[in-house]
Amino acid sequence: MRSLGAVAARLKPARAEGRGRLPRLWLFSDPARLPDPRAAAAALPRGSGVVARGVESALLPGLARLLRQRRGVLLLGGTPRAALRLRAGLHLPDRAPPPGMAAFRLARRAGAPWALLSAAAHGTPGLARARRQGADLLFLSPLFATPSHPGAPCLGVWRWAALARRAGRPAMALGGITATTAPRTPPGACGLAAITALLHPGHSVSRKSRRLQAEHCRPGSG
């Protein structure tokens, strides 16, 4: 994790208008691999971000307190009402927005500094959707091949960079980010996001994961 943090610290800093500086290192939770992200979040460098997806509602207040104590940022995956209750940001998947957005948008228009909005994007349609939603930042993926989606083509460095230039907002790199691949992150990235590589300090990427990255991030995919 220290390696990812060191690479992230060298990326260009970015800010969300009216909501301050954005983290350059992000942990994504996952219902299967990381259903409770609290311990992993506590091990992150101060000021990091967490995107909580599929986390049980009973765990969220503790996670929110932890990130406030560590001057971090919490984004809840696709749950606007819970984000409002916890005074947390919101992360939208690369599809139609969920119900309950109106109240969250009101909080944003009122200038709530915690009402950060991020969006996932996997290509040009996702960029257009993020612009329509007025996202402050986006998570553009997959940069590299990832065991999360075996066999799926990755964007690759060149296509990722081209999409990031067209995004019109800070772009964070997600997908196949490990201590090995992170140094190849395009210079246009404003942050790194990962699941497996941030599960716990000293986590090493498996031989299988490295093979997937070599096999499926094929020429022509980016």
Longest CA pairwise span in the chain (Å):
49
- Per the rule left: phi > 0, alpha: psi between -120 and 50, beta: everything else, 16 is beta
Residue 26: how many CB atoms within 10 A of its CB? 29
Note if the pTM is more than 0.75: yes
Query: Cα 183–185–189 angle (5° rounding)?
Result: 130
- 199 vs 181 pLDDT, higher one: 181
**What confidence score (pLDDT) does residue 53 get?**
95
Report the distance separating Cα 126 and Cα 49, nearest Å.
Answer: 22
Element (H, E) at 3: helix 2-9
Tokens of 119: 């969006």
pLDDT score at 205? 36
Q: Which of 59-73, 92-106, 145-159, 182-196 has the lowest mean pLDDT?
A: 145-159
Helices (H), 110-206: 124-133, 156-167
Contact 217, 176 (CB under 8 A): yes
CB 28 within 8 A of CB 174: yes
Whose CA is closest to 49, among 20, 18, 78, 81? Answer: 20
Check if the beta carbon of residue 119 is closer than 8 Å to that of residue 133.
yes
pLDDT at 2: 56
pLDDT one-digit tens code per residue, 101-148: 999 999 999 999 999 999 999 999 999 999 999 999 999 999 999 877
The whole-angstrom separation of Cα 86 and Cα 113 is 13
pLDDT in tens, 158-184: 999 999 999 999 999 999 999 999 999
